[in-house]
Amino acid sequence: MKERAAVLGTGQTHYKAKRQDVSMAGLLREAIDRAMADAHVDWPDIDAVVVGKAPDFFEGVMMPDLFLADAIGAVGKPLLRVHTAGSVGGSTGVVASSLVQAGVHERVLAVAWEKQSESNAMWALSIPVPFNMPVNAGAGGYFAPHVRSYIRRSGAPNHVGAIVAAKDRRNGAKNPYAHLQQAEMTVDKVQASQMLWDPIRYDETCPSSDGACAVVIGSERAAAAVERPAWIHATSMRTEPTTYAGRDQVNPQAGRDCAAALWKQAGITNPLEEIDAAEIYVPFSWFEPMWLENLGFMGEGEGWRLTEAGETEIGGKLPINASGGVLSSNPIGASGMIRFAEAAMQVMGRAGEHQVDGARKAVGHAYGGGSQFFSMWVVGADKP
Amino acid sequence: MREVGVVGFAQSRQMRQTTGTTNGVEMLVPLITEVFSDLGLTKHDIGFWCSGSSDYLAGRAFSFVSAVDATGPVPPINESHVEADAAWALYEAWTKIQTGEVDTALVYGFGKSSAGDLRRTLALQLDPYVLAPLWPDSLAIAGLQAQLGIDQGKWSEQAMAEVAVRSRRDAETNPNAQLAGSKDVDSLLAEPYIAQPLRRHDCAPITDGAAVVVLAAEHRAGELAERPAWISGIAHAIDSAHIGARDLTTSPSTLTAAQKAGIDGVEVAELYTPFTHQELLLRAELGLGDDVRITPSGGALAGNPMFAGGLVRIGEAARQIWSGSAGRVLAHATGGPALQQNLVCVMEGR
């Protein structure tokens, strides 16, 4: 019933605060052309295109996939536009996988992007919503209380966030596409940076980037033509409301359920032992230990211990965000797909300077909204 | 391929203006309740949820999030959203069922066009660098398309008015229609233009509305419906965005979708045509003869809930199967300027 599917190739743009050297179409094509070259496919090989992006107000264009149809090679083909808030890059990968796993298509191009420099994201997010209290504090102000709650509940030492930030920024310097290139970043430097939303300091926050990421996903037959594809072992998505009585925003049920479904589908019983590399959506440093627990890599209250022990570094027990992660590049709508693509690159052996030695199985993770939308996949060097 | 059937459908009354928010919540909650009551289901029985809506129509970012919240997804659900008409959400849901991961799906769409200036809002779907700054609105573009067809002898103002009369008279039996009943063709042709060659009767009204459809696979569909509307083919495609570079009097993407879906032998076609000439265009493109009953619900000309309208066509066509009044039906959905993106869904009773 379910067909096997694999990532045949990936492509990314260089991430920058403002990519004013290219149009929106040019930005997407930069990622798409690299993904298609990596997958050794040409336009006639592509059966369908799936586009993912966060709110249209971020660029000021209504359903921009429509005007981009020509530039992204979709004319005459099916084009599907996904929008699931910050998790959208991951969801786009899941939808594209489904199209192949369903037996509908042989090869699907998925591309996720954001070009915030076309509009004004703060304006886009400031439009008042009926019956909702405005946060007026940006994402950092929204998530800082969750982080404080995590620290209180777990008893984690205060410097754990800085350890994550320094690691991700140093990793980013090994990734030529990363927005922030900070090879010399240290825990001390992070801790000396401006406090923004206690306990989140400036160097513990993600940048705001323009960028796009694309993947080509193919059937088992299509994958036969590719050297070392990344086989898709499992995908999952879960959603819960922004608020409800008893909701745990530090360790959301939707994330736990999503991970449980993912590990089950992938036949994984001990994620910490069986996963070789993880690309996890960490826009603020403390989300690394928080998601380590939410994903089931570590027990509740224990996530920070893995980080503090240095085991999430490249070369550690579970390298997390060898690419530099969201802390090094954050083109919002694309960030989830970058996690998915980087996980694939690890098991394909194509991660260059930030390759994790011998990675055979990796997880890509994305979340969005008020920690309420989750999408994940497990990819492996071996057929599932 | 797994056999998947449309087993449930609920739609709001199509209205010029509702008092609710642009999040669709007030329209959707009663519809979800209605469809669950009809089918004897609860939200826990749904394997996958998928919705279609637009932030630009809602005038705010993340409008779909409030709608998702309103479905009460506790415990968490397997859920996705498309920034497009909910007919494309139904396509994603159909795909998800095909993977074998789930057996049931609930699809919904909503749009509150009354909240803004729809004509101008839709202009923001155009190329933002070279076309949108000129603000050609949706009526202007439809008018250009209609005039091109008239110039080429493909249709006439008379034939367009006949479409309007038939649609709005058909809508007299549709309790959800916003506009029902029509003057005769000669009276309509005496009315002034609003975007030459379009007169008021050639254009869909501004509508607030929402719709919900439930899909189920194989035996599950058989349990939920006496006569499921089995999807025998569903496909979609998109045409060029450059309206000056494509022949606006044709719809290659509709033809591509129809060829993939397999439309031979359909008895009824619910076409999503917000302008009268677009029905004539699609009938010619699809080769639908006089023996095919066109849009018996009255269609978009009788009520046009944006981002739910395509899903309504699928629901209305499915009802023809459920009632036994047709054995094989076609539903069509569209999105983008001048029929840029099109979906065809063929269903049959067995």
At A43-101, the pLDDT tens digits run: 999 999 999 999 999 999 999 999 999 999 999 999 999 999 999 999 999 999 999 99
Q: In the predicted model, is pLDDT for residue A126 greater than 90?
A: no
Q: What is the least distance, in Å, from the CA of B272 to any CA of chain A?
A: 18
Please write the tens of the pLDDT for every residue from B197-207.
Answer: 999 999 999 99
Q: In the predicted model, is pLDDT for residue A239 greater than 80?
A: yes
Mark the ranges of chain B whose per-residue pLDDT is less than 50. none
Q: Whole-prediction pTM value?
A: 0.98
Establish if B135 touches chain A: CB-CB under 8 angstroms.
no
Instruction: List all residues of chain B from 2 to 21 with a beta carbon under 8 Å from chain A.
Output: 2, 21
Average pLDDT over residues A119-145: 78
Average pLDDT over residues A364-379: 96
Q: What is the pLDDT of residue A133?
A: 64
B81·A74 Cβ contact <8 A = no
Please write the tens of the pLDDT for every residue from A318-332.
Answer: 999 999 999 999 999
- In this prediction, does ipTM exceed 0.85? yes
B92·A95 Cβ contact <8 A = yes
Establish if B211 touches chain A: CB-CB under 8 angstroms.
no
Q: What is the DSSP string of A53-96?
A: -S-GGGTT-SSHHHHTTTTTT-BTS-EEEE-BTBTHHHHHHHHH
Instruction: List all residues of chain A from 279 to 338 with a beta carbon under 8 Å from chain B.
Output: none
The partner residue sitting opposite A241, judged by closest CB among B73, B78, B95, is B73
Q: What is the pLDDT of residue A136?
A: 63
H helices of A127-209, where?
Answer: 138-154, 160-172, 187-192
Chain A residues touching B61 at Cβ < 8 A = 55-58, 124-125, 127
Contact B114, B306 (CB under 8 A): no
Contact B95, A104 (CB under 8 A): yes
